[in-house]
Structure formats: C-alpha cells, structure tokens
Amino acid sequence: MNGADAIVKAIAQEGIDTVFGYPGGAIMPLYDALLQAPFKHILMRHEQAAALAADGYARVRGNVGVCLATSGPGATNLITGIANAFLDSVPMVAITGQVATPVLGTDAFQEVDVFGLTMPVVKHSFLTKTPADLGEALAQSFHLARSGRPGPVVVDVPKDVMLAKATSHPVFEDTSDQPLPDPAAIRKANQLLESCRRPLIYSGGGVSMGQALSAFRDLVARTGIPVVTTLKGIGNLPGDHPLFLGMLGMHGLKSANLAVQECDLLLVIGARFDDRATGKLAEFAPNAAVIHCDVDAAEIGKLRQVEASLTEPLNLTLPLLVLDPINPHWVNRCVSRVHAYRSRPQTRTRGIYAPRLLNNLSRVLSPEAIVTCDVGQHQMWVAQHMRFARPACHLSSGGLGTMGYGLPAAIGACYANPQAPVLCVTGDGSLMMNIQEFTTIVREQLPIKILLFDNQSLGMVRQWQELFFQERFSQIDLSDNPDFCTVALAFGLPAMRFERPSQEPNIIQAITQVAGPLLLHVRIDPNDKVWPLVAPGQPNHHMMEGVSK
Amino acid sequence: MTYTLQLQAHNAHGILERILGVIRYRGFEIMGLVAHLQGLQLAITLELSGQNQHLIHHLRKLIDVQFAHMTERVSSVREAS
Ligand SMILES: Cc1ncc(C[n+]2csc(CCOP(=O)(O)OP(=O)(O)O)c2C)c(N)n1
C-alpha cells in the first residue's frame, strides 16, 4: 500500500461516500488510487466549487466534507472554499498534491506554499514530508476537523510521499473524557435565569455544528424562553414554532431585534456576536446580563462581556439550565409582535416579487427540502421569507459571504441526502461565479432546481449605493448578462423563463413537480430591496423600512 | 502596559509561524521575543492596553500549543521542568 492508497483508505474509514475534486500533476498518484476507491469522486469544474461542494455535503450529512486538488493553482483555487468552511465552522479535510520533496522550496513547476497560504484560514494543517508524517496526518485530520468547534484541515502531500510505501498508523480515537460542565458556572447561569424577568435565547450555527439540535429544542420546550437566531441558526426551531421570533440583525425581523433590545437576560447559544447580527455593538441588548454557551472559549468575552459562560459541549450544558416559571407577559409581548412585523411582501413592485414568491413556495415545499443560497438580496429574501424545519435545510454562506456558494453547495447537498429535493436560489451576479458547474449537474443528472432572480445588477451592492452613497451607482450594471436560458441549454440543462407576476404559480409548480435538473430564469425589478434594514453603525432597533419604488 | 506571553508547544512544522500569525492577526505588536526551539518555548513581550485574555484563548486553540500564559511583568523563558 502506498501513500495514495492510505489516503483512500482513511477517507473510506470515515464513512465518507462522496468526495469532490479536480486532478493535476502533483496529485496524480491519488487519482490513480481513486480508481479502486469504495467512495465516489465527483469531478467538479473548478477547485473552488469542489471545496464549496464539500462544505455543502458536510453541513447536510453532519460529517466531514472532503475535497481534493493538485498543487499550485489547484490548491490556490480551493482557498475561498476553505476560508468559507473556516468562518462557518464546517468540518472539512482538503487534500492537496504538492511537488516532490526533493524540489520542495525551489519554486518548482506548480509549487506554491500551500501550508503557508492556508494557515490563517484552517483549524489545522499538515505538510507531510515523510510517509510517517502522512500516516499521522491521516490519523488525526478527520478527528480535528470534526471535534470541538469544527473547521477545515489541510493535508498537503508531496507527490513522492503518495508513491512511497505507507507506514500504518492507527486512526486517532478520542478516549479522553468529555469535559464536565463546571458546577459553579452552571449555578451562576441558573441564578441569572432565576432572577431575570425578560429572558431571551440568541442562538446560532453552533447548535447544529455542535450536533445539539435536540438538546436545544428540549431547552426551549422546558423553559419556554423565546428564541431569535442568526442567519446560520435559522432552523434551530422550526420556522412556524410559536416561540421563534425570527432572525436578528441587519436584515432581521423587527420582532427579533426589539426583543433583544428589551430583554434583561440574553442566553447566547452557539453564536458569536457577529457584527451583522449585533448592529452597533455598544447598544446591543443594552439591558441584558449575558450567559454565553459556546465550545470555543476564545469567543467568550471577545466582543461582549458576559456574566456567565459555559464552554463545554452544548449537549452537556443545555440540559442543566433551568428556568421555572417563565414570565408570561414577556413571552406574550415578544410573540405578539411576530405576526405584526413578519415582513409583509410589498405589492407595489412591477414584476415578479421574489419575497412573495419565496413565501408561497416555502408553504408547498417538502419540509425535507434543502435550499442553498448565493450571496446578496436573494440570500436575505430566502432567510426572511422561507421557513425551515432544520438548520441543515438552509445552506447559506454566513461568515465569508461567498458569492458562488449556492450551486456547488447544492451539488454537495444532493450527495449528502439523495432523497431530499434541492433548490438553489441565486442571483445573476452570483450564478456567474460558479456557472461552470451546470456541467456537473447535467453529467450527474442531479435533480437540482436553480431559481435565478435576475435583476440585471449586483442587487445588494446597488441597494447600498442607492441608500448610502446617494444613488451613485458604480459597477453594478449587469444588463449585458448572457441569455441564461440559452447558456443553460448549451450545457444540456433544461431552462424556463418567467417575467410576469401571473406566472408565480407556474414557477412554484415547476420547482415542485419537474423531475430532473432545471434552471428557472426569473426576471425581477432591480428596484426591489431587502427590507427592513439596519443601516451600518446603527443599533438594531433603528430599522429602516420601505417599499419598492 | 508590557506583558510577557509564555508559551510552550510541540515543535511541529510551522508552529512558530502559526503563533506569530495569530498574534499579528489579533492585532498585537511584538516588542521582544526569546525562543528555545527544542520543545518549543517562547517568551514574547507585548505592549497591551486593557483586555488581553483573548489572545491567550486564541493561542490555546492552536493544536500544537500546550501551554499559554500571560503575565504583566517581563520575565524570561521558564526552564523546562
Ligand atoms: C466573491 C464575492 N465577491 C463580491 C462580493 C460582494 N457582494 C455581496 S452581494 C453582491 C451582489 C450580488 O449580486 P447577485 O448575485 O446578482 O444577487 P442580488 O443581490 O442581486 O440578489 C456582491 C458583489 C461577495 N459577497 N462575494
């Protein structure tokens, strides 16, 4: 068995059934070994898409996503996807071929310092200069990617090490005891809960990344505390749950933002006070004591001083929190506002109105459906107007905000859960960032529906230029877009075109009833905006609301 | 105020660069550095104002860092025990 075979074996042992990649010179031994692999390799058409597909796979499967690329340009193309996984705490192992050890450090053909380039955006990384190094890296990397706060691990493997006889290395098994919650911290947290009048849960992606969804839902059911979520926390409670007040932050629901501003106790669970969530930090939750539960101790007190903190896994800490009974007046106050503020679709737009369409679509989609987004206005409309049963049903690039995420993430999602319907909601700017993956979808006949909202502009940037740069529109015009339906057809991808509001039911019907892959090209008005909105530098309770021109 | 950061780490590939990278990214300027590269031990002098505990937590997250501690008074590298 050589090093390349050992890599294949390690991936197979992790129960990973699909990896995503792109071959090249330095990684050829691994591609040779893949011919005998018990798992599938999906040939993407850009390494960035391979990394983002692995990210989508990981989020849906709850396992590590694996991507492969060759040295030099292959590896540099992966970096955006690795950074995306880093900022959203997604478990990933990226394996890159490297030039052979005798020429390492000589600027050999397609040599770049992958170990150095990726260092700031990985949880950990290895450059395996010997078979022993490779054995150790393979034994550890999957565990490292998955454990604690998950994240990407890079394994950079010189070509000669892939060809050399492998040294066997036992897979790392975590035999250490789970850290037990600190009784004093639990006591402190429960005292705060007992003495508060207006408690609120602010929850994020850490709930699902920490595999703690049932512990979380159980806590909400036991205590009756209302819940707001971050973008990544959407689905922590089912979208129609009575205690779900909505997403908080810049494009959040006003009922969520007002609850945060009024609460006297903020129970933060798997969230990190990101600026898109908090608005002006100094005025965020100004009356609240904070209990922060997060496995990453470095997040505690990073942006907001806390009164109590619990850094053990959520599955261990959440069951120990108690509140009895909850103040019903506070709950009523929070809950009664949800309906009033549910951003009502505005009917003054001229064309098809994306928020209304997404809202209606969401009512008929299977609860198992997985929706991936790109980045921009359409991404916020999905977050605001669709309901999700679980976080793994809503894949959105939160921390990095990566345009181009949606299509590859949808591909990854298809392999992670082949039974689930998969919808990619995208914009005309974002789609072009990874449009080459139409080929992958067609080749594999993945039944992905691509809902393209075409406003002939970089809509989110346009919105900001209009609102905050005195309508000085700069470099946002995409009116020379290609005819997307013709492009899709050239790839062999069926496509349909829609431009009239009366066609909204037909769009929904096509998404839910067409069997194979499909592009739905939907023309929308470039003046449609994402409302409400907290302007930069403002506190979250100052929300701008508006109607389309 | 001047602080000394005491660190002990596995001398794994690139560990020094990793540690220095975290300190730079988190916004700290290094004023002085004493290193013993066997069973890597470092004493790094930093100029800080106010809150500094985060840096320690971020450094402890590095897989190969075994020990990280910050003291207000400048001191030299601890002898290996
Ligand atoms: C790779 C990348 N480049 C630039 C940006 C900045 N950006 C954020 S939203 C946006 C516009 C997105 O346009 P589109 O995909 O058409 O979506 P829309 O806002 O129109 O719905 C841009 C350029 C980004 N997030 N990612």
Q: Where are the alpha helices (DSSP H) in A292-353?
A: 314-317, 328-341
Q: Quick one: pLDDT at residue A179?
A: 84
Per-residue pLDDT, averaged over A7-20, amounts to 97
Average pLDDT of the residues in A406-415? 98
Tell me the residue type at B61.
K
Using CA atoms, how far residue A162 sits from A117, A283, B49, in Å, is 22, 55, 49
Contact A298 B13 (CB under 8 A): no
A13 is a domain residue:
yes
d(CA A44, CA A67): 10
Is there an atom of ligand 1 within 6 Å of A88 CB? no
Residue A197 φ then ψ, to 5°: -110, -25
Residue A417 and residue A307 share a domain: no
Nearest-Cα distance to chain A for B40, in Å, is 18
In this structure, which amino acid lies at residue A462? R
In this complex, which of A115, A144, A296 lies closest to B63 when CB atoms are compared? A144
* Angstrom distances, CA of residue A329 to CA of A199, A333, A337, B32: 12, 6, 13, 57
What pLDDT shows up at residue A346? 62
Distance A462 CA to ligand 1 centre (A): 10
Report yes or no on A346 lying in a domain. no
Q: Does A146 share its domain with A55? A: yes
Contact A300 B51 (CB under 8 A): no
Per the domain annotation, does A87 fall within a domain?
yes
Contact B61 A300 (CB under 8 A): no
The verdict on the CB of residue A459 being under 6 Å from ligand 1 is: yes
The reply to whether A285 and A412 lie within a common domain is: no
Average pLDDT over residues A184-208: 98
Task: Establish whether residue A529 lines the binding site of ligand 1, counting it when its CB lies within 6 angstroms of any ligand atom.
Answer: no
- Considering only the beta carbons, identify the residue of B14, B51, B61 that sits closest to A298: B61
Residue matched to tokens 């933060």: A268
- How many angstroms does the Cα of residue A394 sit away from the middle of ligand 1? 18
The verdict on a CB contact (< 8 Å) between B14 and A125 is yes
Residue A334 has pLDDT above 90, yes or no: yes
Alpha helix ranges (H) inside A147-200: 159-163, 183-195
Choose the closest CB to B14 out of A115, A301, A302. A115
Q: B44 CA to middle of ligand 1, Å?
A: 41
Q: Which residues of B touch A115 (CB under 8 A)?
A: 13-14
Among A340, A362, A386, where does a domain finish? Answer: A340
Find out whether A236 and A229 touch, Cβ atoms under 8 Å: yes
Same domain, A510 and A403: yes
Q: Are strands A394-395 and A422-427 parallel, antiparallel or unpaired?
A: unpaired
Could you tell me the residue range of the domain that residue A467 belongs to?
354-530
> A497 pLDDT exceeds 60?
yes
Asked whether residue A385 falls in the same domain as residue A477, the answer is yes
Report DSSP state, residue B79: P
The tens digit of pLDDT for each residue in A102-148 reads: 999 999 999 999 999 999 999 999 999 999 999 999 999 999 999 99
Instruction: Judge if A296 and A255 occupy the same domain.
Output: yes
Tell me the chain A residues in contact with residue B26 when contact means C-beta distances shorter than 8 Å. Answer: none
Q: Provide residues of B within 8 Å CB-CB of chain A.
A: 13-14, 17-18, 21, 25, 51, 53-54, 57-58, 60-61, 63
* Segment A272-281, tens digit of pLDDT: 999 999 999 9
Smallest CA–CA distance, residue A144 to chain B, in Å, is: 9
What is the model's pLDDT at position A348?
Answer: 62
Rounded to 10 deg, the angle between the A406-416 and A47-61 helix axes is 50
CA dist A15 → A19, A56, A61, A66, A89 (Å)? 11, 16, 11, 11, 20
DSSP track, A116-142:
HHHGGG-SEEEE--SHHHHHHHHHHHH
Shared-domain flag, residues A268 and A385: no
**Identity of the residue numbered A188:** K
| Contact between residue A63 and residue A36 where contact means Cβ atoms under 8 Å apart | no
- Spell out the domain ranges in chain B: 2-72
Q: Do B13 and A116 touch (CB under 8 A)?
A: no
Picking from A340, A373, A394, the residue at the C-terminal end of a domain is A340
Q: How far is the CA of A426 from the centre of ligand 1 (A)?
A: 10
Whole-angstrom distance, CA of residue A146 vs CA of residue A369 = 25
What mean pLDDT comes out for the span A166-185?
84
The CATH H-level superfamily of B2-72 is ACT domain (3.30.70.260)
Q: Please indicate, yes or no, whether residues A493 and A406 belong to a single structural domain of this protein.
A: yes
Residue of B nearest to A113 (CA): B14
Chain B residue numbers with beta carbons less than 8 Å from the beta carbon of A129 are 13
Cβ neighbour number for residue B4 with a 10 Å cutoff? 21
| Percent of chain A surpassing pLDDT 90 | 94
Using CB atoms, which residue from B13, B58, B61 is nearest to A127?
B13
**pLDDT value, residue A347:** 56
Per-residue pLDDT tens digits for A439-474: 999 999 999 999 999 999 999 999 999 999 999 999
> Residue B43 above 90 pLDDT?
yes
Q: Please identify every residue of A annotated as catalytic.
A: 47, 109-110, 159, 460
State the Cα–Cα distance between residues A503 and A507, nearest whole angstrom.
Answer: 6
Ligand 1 neighbourhood includes A535 CB (under 6 angstroms): no
| Nearest by Cα to A187 from A38, A344, A307 | A307
- Ligand 1 in contact with A223 (CB < 6 A)? no
Q: Do A296 and B61 touch (CB under 8 A)?
A: yes
For residues A235 and B30, give the distance between their C-alpha atoms in angstroms, rounded to a whole number.
43
Residue A72: pLDDT band by 50, 70, 90 thresholds?
A: very high
Given a contact cutoff of 8 angstroms between Cβ atoms, the answer to whether A307 and A289 are in contact is yes
A288 and A324: one domain? yes
Q: End-to-end CA distance of chain B, in Å?
A: 29
Chain B hits for A302, Cβ within 8 Å:
54
Q: Nearest CA to A362 among A525, A240, A208, A532?
A: A240
Is residue A406 in contact with ligand 1, taking CB distance under 6 Å?
no
Mean predicted lDDT score pLDDT of chain A = 96
Residues A489 and A417 in one domain: yes
A202: nearest Cα among A263, A269, A113, A285: A269
3-class DSSP assignment, residue A395 = strand
Please check whether residues A371 and A335 belong to one and the same domain.
Answer: no
Q: Is the pLDDT of residue B77 over 70?
A: no
pLDDT digits (tens, 9 = 90+) for A341-389: 885 556 567 799 999 999 999 999 999 999 999 999 999 999 999 999 9
Domains in chain A: how many in total?
A: 3
Q: Under DSSP, is residue A288 helix (H, G, I), strand (E, B) or coil?
A: coil
Same domain, A91 and A217: no
Neighbours of A482 (CB within 10 A): 11
Q: What is the CATH number of the domain that holds A451?
A: 3.40.50.970
Is A228 within 8 Å of A252 (Cβ atoms)?
Answer: yes
Distance between A142 CA and the closest CA of chain B, angstroms:
14
Place of tokens 């037990």: A180
Amino acid A131: pLDDT: 97
Q: Please answer yes or no on whether B60 and A115 come within 8 Å at the CB atom.
A: no
